[in-house]
Amino acid sequence: MKYMNAMARLLALLLAALMLTGMLALAEPAETEAPEAEAVEAVEGEAEEPTEEEEPAETEAPAEAEDNSYGLIYSANNPIPDIAERVRPAIVQVVTKVESWDADTRTADVYDAGSGSACYIRPLENGEGGYLLTNYHVIQDTDVYTAEWLDGTVSDLELVGYDDGSDIAILKFEGPVPGDAEPIPLGDSEALRIGELAIIIGNPGIDDVMFGSVSAGIISGLERADPGLGNFSHHITTIQIDAALTAGYSGGALLNAKGEMVGIPVIYTLGEGMNFCIPISAVKGFIDQIIDSGNVVRPRMGVTVVTIDGPDEAMRRFPPIGAQVYSVEKGTPADKAGLQEKDVITEANGIRVKSSRDLVDAVDQCGEGEPMKLVVYRYEYDDDGNIKGGYEVLNLELELEIID
């Protein structure tokens, strides 16, 4: 009997062991194989072929646009200290003087006229000296020029030439370049974007000049028409900035986040935070012309015009408002196209012309060899210069030329 009971217990233990082994075998695939296969699939899928949802995360907004923003000045990547260290030595104060002669006392004199800023932009070919870029209004109607550099060095300057149409002038100094000054690289103002960083370096102040002052803000607007500056006799648009500017910054440098010069401050405030600069790309060609020849030559039509007032629409005895031809130079594009004295130009390349300035602006927007389409009203006059009545409308086309 004891043997039978022992055998029964042994069989029960064997059966329990077999049942436990089966349960473990059934549970093993669910715990190890399935999750492992899914994990491998997921990892391979991410590494070999990103889904469409994941691609935008890899191609977010370009870092360059973000790097040019005003927020840079509050970051560890603030470029202004390095730019200021490199550019400040290349910004000089230009002091201008006027010569006088008194015929009664037969004495000559020279007296101070004013001051502004200028930028060292190009060395002389022999390396002993260089060219400074400033505003024409800084040196206008003056005779003697000197530059004071950041390190206190004073250089005599020679006026190479100027263009009052775009308010720029080029001065030259000879001798060793003072201190650590290096030419400021000229950038591309046409690549500017509204909202990006704007850095101004200049020498504000009249009696007490604050050399190498740095101001910063953003590009507030582009291609602003002449906002009442009165600085330009030819067509030019300006860059609007909100950086703080005062007298003395004229002729200084507007710089981008790369430290490239993209404009020239002209100092005019329509209101707080509204200042304007000449785009460097608009005057690069003029800078080269002045350095090469001392002046700027623009393509033109070959006419002299005056503003004529009148009705918006032509009437039999009253010419419309426009630019009336005063004279025509022989052999010029205007002469070849058939323009005559007293013709009234009312349209140029689709732009309504209501004054001689409007026509100059239209011409300035065309380059040498480019076509200019004109709408012209021609009236018939008697021997006394009075309009007989009636007119004809002409559509003329000409190509602008450089005229000596």
Which range has the top average pLDDT, 34-48, 49-63, 345-359? 345-359
pLDDT, residue 24, reads: 40
Instruction: Please confirm, yes or no, whether 102 is among the known catalytic residues.
Output: no
Closest CA to 125 of 72, 172, 85, 57: 172
* Amino acid (one-letter) located at 288: D
Within 13 Å of residue 199, how many CA atoms lie on the same side as its CB? Answer: 26
- What is the pLDDT averaged over residues 140-156? 92
Q: What is the DSSP letter of 392?
A: E
Structural tokens at position 299: 């393509």
For residue range 212-236, list pLDDT tens digits in order.
899 999 999 888 876 555 555 566 7
Q: Which residues of 86-100 are buried (b: 16+ CB within 10 A; e: fewer)?
A: bbbbbbbbbbbbeee
- What is the pLDDT averaged over residues 25-50? 40
Structural tokens at position 283: 């005057």
DSSP 301-313: -SEEEEEE---SS
pLDDT grade for 262, boundaries at 50, 70 and 90 = very high
Instruction: Please confirm, yes or no, whether 104 is among the known catalytic residues.
Output: no
Q: Taking 80 as the threshold, does the pLDDT of residue 281 lie above it?
A: yes
Structural tokens at position 40: 């491998």
Q: Taking 80 as the threshold, does the pLDDT of residue 260 lie above it?
A: yes
pLDDT, residue 105, reads: 87
For residue range 99-121, list pLDDT tens digits in order.
998 888 888 888 888 899 999 99
Length of the chain: 404
* Spatial distance between the Cα atoms of 156 and 356, rounded to a whole number of angstroms: 40
Longest CA–CA separation in the chain, Å: 158
Name the pTM for this structure: 0.69
Structural tokens at position 161: 């030439």
- What is the pLDDT averaged over residues 51-64? 47
Q: Taking 80 as the threshold, does the pLDDT of residue 63 lie above it?
A: no
- What is the pLDDT averaged over residues 271-288? 86
pLDDT, residue 82, reads: 93
Name the percent of the chain lying above pLDDT 70: 77
Q: Taking 60 as the threshold, does the pLDDT of residue 47 lie above it?
A: no
What sign for the dihedral angle of Cα 42, 46, 50, 51? positive
Instruction: Please confirm, yes or no, whether 137 is among the known catalytic residues.
Output: yes
Within 13 Å of residue 76, how many CA atoms lie on the same side as its CB? Answer: 0
pLDDT, residue 235, reads: 65
For residue range 347-390, list pLDDT tens digits in order.
999 999 999 888 988 888 788 888 999 999 999 998 888 898 88
- What is the pLDDT averaged over residues 135-158? 93
Catalytic residue selected from 115, 117, 250, 356:
250
- What is the pLDDT averaged over residues 58-62? 47
Structural tokens at position 191: 């690549």
Flag the least confident range among 3-12, 193-202, 249-258: 3-12
Q: Kindly report the average pLDDT of the chain as a whole number.
A: 81
pLDDT, residue 32, reads: 43
At residue 34, the 3 state secondary structure works out as: helix
CATH 2.40.10.120 fits 68-297, yes or no: yes
Q: Are 203 and 135 in contact (CB under 8 A)?
A: no
Name the percent of the chain lying above pLDDT 90: 49
- CATH code: domain 299-402 is 2.30.42.10
pLDDT, residue 227, reads: 57
Catalytic residue selected from 137, 166, 235, 358:
137
- What is the pLDDT averaged over residues 318-323? 95
Would you list the domain boundaries of the chain?
2-48, 68-297, 299-402
pLDDT, residue 223, reads: 80
pLDDT, residue 392, reads: 94
Catalytic residue selected from 115, 155, 167, 242:
167
For residue range 282-309, list pLDDT tens digits in order.
899 899 999 999 988 888 899 999 999 9
pLDDT, residue 236, reads: 75
